[in-house]
Amino acid sequence: MSFAIQHNRRIFTTQKYKEMAEVADKKKKKWKAKYDKDTYLNWYETMQRIRLFENRALQMYGQNKIRGFCHVYIGQEAIAGGMSSALRPEDAVITGYRQHGTAISRGISTKEAMAELFGKSTGINKGKGGSMHFFSKENRYFGGNGIVGATIPIGTGIALAEQYKKTDNIAVTMFGDGAARQGSLHESFNMAMTWKLPVLYICENNNYAMGTSVERTSNVHDIYKLGSAYDMPSEPVDGMDVEKVHEAIEKAVKHIRSGKGPYFLEIKTYRYKGHSVSDPATYRSRDEVNEYKEKDPIKQLESRILDGNIASKEEIKEIKDRLKKEIEEALEFAENSEYPDKSELYTDNYLQEDYPFIKD
Ligand SMILES: Cc1ncc(C[n+]2csc(CCOP(=O)(O)OP(=O)(O)O)c2C)c(N)n1
């Protein structure tokens, strides 16, 4: 007997699902380790650190210890993981507001990140930036930006600065599928290709811009194809698989560093939670969410590590326990830190002296 299952307007039969599962099973058996133990364990650690950090942050939000906006990255960690191994520390990164994971993968400590979420003076931006606005000059991390699509021209500008200074650093410019529809993408792509800027554009396509699916936004569902209008090398990537993310970014980075100009990767991923903490995400089915959870990037990597005898269960447990301790210490640090002094209201502000509308 064959039941029809409707999913995202595609009709699959249970038979078809069975066949797909068998193909996936065969692929799994064929998997072979390509990298050394440290690489796998570093990926695991980076991704688990982000997941544990955000799970605790969500709990703290529930207790009103974190206020304001909070957009979590849970489900998307393979992108931050794969990126961390494919870039150099000197490379610049800029992204949107769903940024805790990216920031942590670039070296911002969980203490500084948690304290920032708590609005405390010991946060990475003295508690004045909050969840959407981490920034770190030392880590070449340019945010954290709440304006959808704004990172695309800013990242392009960072790449222009690197070219002007004749470095071989690249600027990674990240944005969501919703942001990809902004005009700023086209102006930036055009300029970056004309001037062969050292920029890697990454669209983290998690299928939704708030409650609006990619299918409802445009007739072009494969966002990477937007690059072809500018002859920009562009590819789709499986964002649930950290190895594939690493490989794709490594290849793109090699192209960019050799002076050939920009590259565009559409990394297909999924966010398990709503758009932000206040979104119950009723616009998608539980089956859809579960389908992605089945391919969870951390679980996938953990089974590869264990099945491939890369590390033992005990080693994995040791990493998890160490990270749990780290996150508890970050929480304690955030709790025990002071809020910024009132005088901080007047520091770190940009003031244009000749702005004509300043009032005393
Ligand atoms: C210029 C601008 N327009 C609208 C908004 C409101 N807004 C906030 S998030 C969002 C959706 C963006 O989705 P996407 O780019 O796919 O990123 P994701 O949340 O999936 O990471 C919108 C429309 C905004 N912040 N800035």
pLDDT in tens, 239-258: 999 999 999 999 999 999 99
Which residues have CB under 6 Å of ligand 1?
96, 98, 146-149, 175-179, 206, 208-210, 275
Q: How many other C-beta atoms are found inside a 10 Å radius of the C-beta of residue 354?
A: 5
| Fold classification of 34-334 (topology level) | Rossmann fold (3.40.50)
Whether residue 144 contacts residue 82, with contact meaning beta carbons closer than 8 Å, is answered with no
Distance CA 335, CA 115 (A): 8
**Residue of 207, 210, 277, 279 best suited for mutating to test ligand 1, as the one with most atoms within 8 Å of CB:** 210
Residue nearest to atom 18 of ligand 1 (CA): 176
Q: Atom of ligand 1 at shortest distance to CA of 179?
A: 15
- Residue 16 C-alpha from the chain's centroid: 32
Distance 4 CA to ligand 1 centre (A): 35
Distance 70 CA to ligand 1 centre (A): 13
Whether residue 169 contacts residue 134, with contact meaning beta carbons closer than 8 Å, is answered with no
Instruction: Read off the pTM.
Output: 0.91
Structure tokens of 186?
């086209």
Q: What is the DSSP string of 128-195?
A: SS-TT---BTTTTB-----STTTHHHHHHHHHHHHHHTT----EEEEEETTGGGSHHHHHHHHHHHHT
**Residue of 148, 154, 223 best suited for mutating to test ligand 1, as the one with most atoms within 8 Å of CB:** 148
Length of the chain: 360
Q: Tell the residue number behind the tokens 């961390």, with chain if given.
A: 84
- The pairing of beta strand 92-94 with beta strand 10-13: unpaired
| All structural domains of the chain with their residue ranges | 34-334
Structure tokens of 128?
């004045």
Exposed, middle or buried, 126 (CB in 10 Å: 0-12/13-18/19+)? middle
Helix, strand, or coil here: 239?
A: coil
Residue nearest to atom 17 of ligand 1 (CA): 176
Q: Which of 145, 153, 50 is nearest to 96 (CA)?
A: 145
- Residue ranges with strand state E in 51-124: 92-94
Q: Atom of ligand 1 at shortest distance to CA of 210?
A: 11
C-alpha dist (Å) from residue 245 to 51, 197, 240, 353? 18, 22, 8, 46
Residue nearest to atom 7 of ligand 1 (CA): 148
Give pLDDT tens digits for 329-356. 999 999 999 999 999 998 998 888 888 8
Q: Give the Cα-Cα-Cα angle 7, 264, 198 (nearest 5 degrees).
A: 160
Tens digits of pLDDT across the chain (360 residues): 333 444 444 444 455 556 666 676 666 667 899 999 999 999 999 999 999 999 999 999 999 999 999 999 999 999 999 999 999 999 999 999 999 999 999 999 999 999 999 999 999 999 999 999 999 999 999 999 999 999 999 999 999 999 999 999 999 999 999 999 999 999 999 999 999 999 999 999 999 999 999 999 999 999 999 999 999 999 999 999 999 999 999 999 999 999 999 999 999 999 999 999 999 999 999 999 999 999 999 999 999 999 999 999 999 999 999 999 999 999 999 999 999 999 999 899 888 888 888 777
Residue nearest to atom 13 of ligand 1 (CA): 209
Helix, strand, or coil here: 315?
A: helix
Roughly what angle, to the nearest 10 degrees, separates helices 110-117 and 313-336?
40
For residue 237, give the H/E element and its range: strand 234-238
Whether residue 176 contacts residue 96, with contact meaning beta carbons closer than 8 Å, is answered with yes
Distance 150 CA to ligand 1 centre (A): 10
